[in-house]
Structure 1
């Protein structure tokens, strides 16, 4: 595949420019309808191919091949792509609960993103290293700056890209390489990265390439709970974090995939005690600065 060759070349070349939410961008005027996502997870977008705009912290950033965009915890950003986006290949890295989750997306038709290669996870040591450097890059102001990301994150993130490249070289057919394909961990990481949004069995079937009946049975056998129960736990965790951070209920409902506020409120009443338990645990284990919880 020509895409595989281009991906390897860009990963090998490393990062050209880095962007974070505090850096100047163009005013987000007339950018059309696009859903906004806000969550505790840290994400990185590395451009393999193409040129486009990305909405981050109410500003538009023009990004092209070799650029890397840092989406820190609770940075409001675009969910999905603009209707006119096309001819793009993007690498997304999600710092999930216990691992670093890697996906490649290709946008051939306007606004329509499809996964390429098989998603996989990187080792915990690189995840922990990058997470610690993100924390350092926020100090002392509580948020990342152009100088702090250059100082603390350029080298670790180039190392992260190199880890992705090594995994691809081990098994270019599926992209998972030596990291080892573990479909259960892949599904868990995907659900964590979306906060339970768009995680129906049909959507997971499309995402993984496996039958929904197969993944449903395998997940229950391996974990002892259903996919739906796991999605619910991730939604509860996000809701607890978001409420502590001060997010509005309508925004929480949108982030975790509820079709209406009324349906979300019914769910909220049902799981109020469980959400309160998680909030108490977070308060007992987290410092309460701007970045209340590490992503």
Structure 2
């Protein structure tokens, strides 16, 4: 499904729409664009690759989960760093006029815009769960754009506004830690526990016993604040560790057991759903070659 939502790379750096445009790029080769500016706001969400971005002549090496915000008139360009893995990112353009309309609804929609103007801070980082939640909202918007359903225009507007508010809330809460809900402490503890026990039983029941809270409360924290279930997070984390092991040329038949998958069939299906190809195909394409 995600492959159907990909956009072929386009060097065009101006908007055809008067409101917004959004793209999902997943390239096996790096396509660069020379230093440039826009007359609209650009959000660049980095998923995978080996690149740096230059913003007003300052260079930043990007990490998966980084969001880059580029206001109008700011010079920037992206460069590759040596050999790259698949270069995967979302690019979201939104006009100044549309942002002004959102501001008239609520200043909460433009907190990031004003914050960037005051601080010249353009790069923000999401943890894996928060970035997955953000990605889900972006895919929901792209899916609606590609669909042909009743109420399409109204739904697209709701998705755009929801995405903008979601981004601004994330930045505001990162800048104001005290404003986060009390549940964040429990959430952080659960993340650390999961990280250290990937090869063990991580069911909701086991987490409930470990943290002395109900499994429904744990489930609610993840879904309500981050838009993803505990099970989805654990699966993605396990797949990420398996992928890193594959890239290091570890034996696939041992990897899935090391990181908590009970059988190869479930690991195979989850891996192919997440990365679009089988573990063996991924290894043949990207793993380090033996000397």
TM-score in terms of structure 1 length: 0.33
The structure with more radius of gyration: 2
Taking structure 2 as the reference length, what is the TM-score of the superposition?
0.33
> More helix by proportion, 1 or 2?
2
Q: Which has the higher strand share?
A: 1
